[in-house]
Each structure stands twice: as structure tokens, then as C-alpha cells.
A = this chain, B = another copy of it.
Amino acid sequence: MSTFGDLFRVHTYGESHCKSVGCIIDGCPPGLKLTEEDIQVQLSRRRPGQSDLTTARSEFDTVHLQSGTEHNVTLGTPIGLLVHNKDQRPHDYAETDLYPRPSHADYTYLAKYGIKASSGGGRASARETIGRVAAGAIAEKYLKEAAGVEIVAFVASVGKVELPFAQGEDEVLGKEFVELLRTTTREQVDKELTRCPHRETSDKIADAIRSAKSREDSLGGTIICVIRNCPLGLGEPAFDKLEAVLAHAMLSIPSTKAFEIGSGFRGTQFLGSQHNDPFVDGVDARTGQKRLRTSTNWSGGSQGGISNGEDVYFRVGFKPPATISQQQNTAKYDGSTGVLETKGRHDPCVLPRAIPIVETMAALVIMDMFLKQNARSSAASLLEPVDHLPPSMILPGKNKVVETQLVEDKVVQE
């Protein structure tokens, strides 16, 4: 369905050529200052036509708030918003309509619904993401104001050009990369047309995209996203672990095919003794209060599916866009073979424009989990403390515990 989230919930609507695309955001906390400009920022980073590296089509995509705020403050009631489509006509029938576009959704939409929008893209169009970007922009704003959460995504590879992730076989991830993760800001990201904040890599990526464009071809790549000051304790065992819901969110973005958190696939090649993140005494990055930290962060900020207060970072893989202008040998709907040639201004690479989509989807995940965890912890805080538990069950120093003798060791069942 077109709904994401439980307590902070977005519902989206809209095809590529209908009157408008938009969404309803339900569950936004009341009392948040919110203007259309707050939302527009991420929509503008998402829109086509920002540079010669993306499609030449220029759409402004202005957001119109319909409800849920007054005097620029949220009321706690559903926030409706929409962005008008520029081209709202149903399409005439063209030669290209005889073909399902390879690796596009034409064939599967018809198989699923028995009918599809005449424009082809329909709900599979990238315009569908406008609603979620708008919703996520609101979540971001809340998270920043209420909990200091910072979410930054950047392009990590395009085609075979990639950031220097690690130097050798024995290094889980390299120092240069870890530093990028720790420090990169949106401002740094937006300085590069490619939205890859590593200048050297960025230049190579720009070349690769221009080269693909000139050959009427397309390029995929990967985006890395880091969530700083992610509150401790987010993620709902057993099925809605932090990484599980992040993966769900990311792979719901059009063209995505892969997700990994922390050391990801690369981490599967290391030994437990290399990969474990030892605990060290430390302070919370936001509050400055003393608490346990980890000296490495190959876990990507999540252990047992619950955030541990370290930076959450993950990588998302985007396939090369299916729509390319060069000729393709493929079958028509009727089974006969032909040559499909899709004219038009297609995006040779969606990565730069996908940055705000990844960030805002991450914000939707964190926001919903934050509300859930607050519901739990505020409920637990209303109970009288218990004073008869053994020290293996509670945080040392936080509760009165029963005096107990240490035993040699305990049996582990599984």
C-alpha cells in the first residue's frame, strides 16, 4: 500500500500525469513550527533539471500545504499537501506503447492491475517520491529540533567509480572513509554537482555520467547515508529492527536493488574478533553525559536491531535507469520482436537527485521509531521502581539490586 509508518505515518498519491501528487502526514507532534519553505528545500534538491548531469527537464515542484498547521505551527492533525503536475494530459498512443520497456514497470503494472496509466510511468514514476520527500522533510525538522538528529546522504559510487572505502584486505573500512562518514555536511555535498563530497571521486563521476549521457546510456551507483545523534534504543524487536525498517524504506525507492548497514557485505568476510565493536568509556555526542561508547563502529550504530547511540550509516544500491534512448531489441506485448527507441530527455543517472529521497526516507524511519520508543519509555517511567531484581537484569547503579554471589558461569541455551 501507499502508507509508511505507524505513529508518524505518510500516505502518498499521484501518478506522473494526473492533476497533482501529494500526501497526508498523520501523527506529526503538535507545536512544531512549520512553513512551506521548510518542506520546499528538500523538494528542490530532488527536482529534475538541477544540472547537466541530470535530466534537462525543469520542474519547479512547489509545495502547497492544505491543512494541519495554523500560524505556521502544527496542530497535531493530519497535514495534507500537494504539488501540481505540470503536464496533466493523458497520453496519445505512440509506437513505443507497443512495447513494455525492458526493466521498467510497464509489464508488471499491467500484470498486477490489468490496466495502467497511458503515460507509462504512472505510479512507478519518480514523481511518486515527491510525497515522501515532503513528509520526510517534516520528520527531519522535528528530529533536529527535538533530538538534534542530523541526516546526511552522499553519492558513494557511480558505475565503477567509487570512494576509497578501504585500503587493504584486512581493513574493514578505511580511515579516510570513516572520517567522511563522521564529518560530511549537506553543504559539502551540495557543493558538488554529483553530490559526492570527495572531490577527486566527484570529478571522475561527472566524467562518467557525461560519457554515458553522450552514448544515450545510463549509470547506476550507490548512496551512503549517515544518521548522527540517533537516539539510543530505537528499533522494535523482533521484526521491525532498525536495519530491517531502514532496508524496507530504502528498497521502496524506485530503482534501488541493494542495502547494507555498517560494514555490510564486506563485513561478512571478517572474523568475529576483527569485527566486534569493543565498548569503551565515553560521553554522549549530544548531551555530553558519560555513557558507554564503542571504539569502532562496524555495526553501523545498531546491535540486536536497536540503535546504540553511535552513528547509523548504511549504503543503498541503485541500478542504472531502465529508460535509455538508444535502440533496444526486445519483444512487443504481442510477443513479436522489434527495436524500441525511446526518445525524450531521460536521466542518465539518478544518484544526485536521489540524495534527498534517501535522507527523508531515513527521517521517516527514525521519526516513527522515536515516537514508539517514547511511548514505551514514558509508560515505563510511570511505574514504581522494582527492587528485587538480580544485577544481570538491570543497568548497574540505576536500580537497587538484590545482593548476590557471583557464580562461575552460566549455560547458554542458544
Contacts and interface: CB of A to CB of B under 8 A. Distances in A.
Q: How large is the interface on A (under 10, 10 to 19, 20 to 34, 35 or more residues)?
A: 35 or more
A346 interface: yes
A298 to B, nearest CB: 8
Nearest to A20: B66
Nearest to A281: B335
A282 to B, nearest CB: 8
Interface string A44-85: 000010000001010100001111101101011111101001
Contacts of A37: none
B275 A320 contact: yes
Nearest to A79: B13
A96 B257 contact: no
Nearest to A404: B93
Contact of A24 (B11, B70, B405): B11
Contacts of A16: 412-414
A410 B250 CA distance: 30
**Which of A277, A300, A332, A393 has the most chain B CB atoms closer than 10 A to its own CB?**
A393
Interface in A83-98: 85-87, 90-98
B111 A308 contact: yes
A285 interface: no
Given A14-B78, A67-B18, A82-B66, A238 B123 contact: yes
A324 B272 contact: yes
B264 A257 contact: yes
**Which of A102, A217, A278, A336 has the most chain B CB atoms closer than 10 A to its own CB?**
A102
Contacts of A70: 15, 18, 90, 117-118, 393
Given A1-B240, A31-B114, A324 B76 contact: no
Interface stretch (A124-132, A176-184, A194-202): A124-132
A86 B235 CA distance: 29
A384 interface: yes
Interface in A1-41: 1-4, 6-7, 9, 11-24, 26-27, 29-33
Contacts of A260: 257-260, 265, 317
Contacts of A66: 13-14, 18-20, 22, 82
A413 B93 contact: no
Contacts of A168: none
A82 B249 CA distance: 28
B238 A252 contact: yes
A152 B294 CA distance: 38
B118 A372 contact: no
A343 B407 CA distance: 13
Contacts of A318: 268
19 contacts: A2-B26, A13-B80, A19-B64, A22-B80, A76-B112, A77-B237, A93-B406, A100-B279, A102-B278, A108-B303, A126-B414, A132-B238, A218-B272, A222-B268, A247-B247, A257-B260, A257-B267, A303-B322, A371-B379
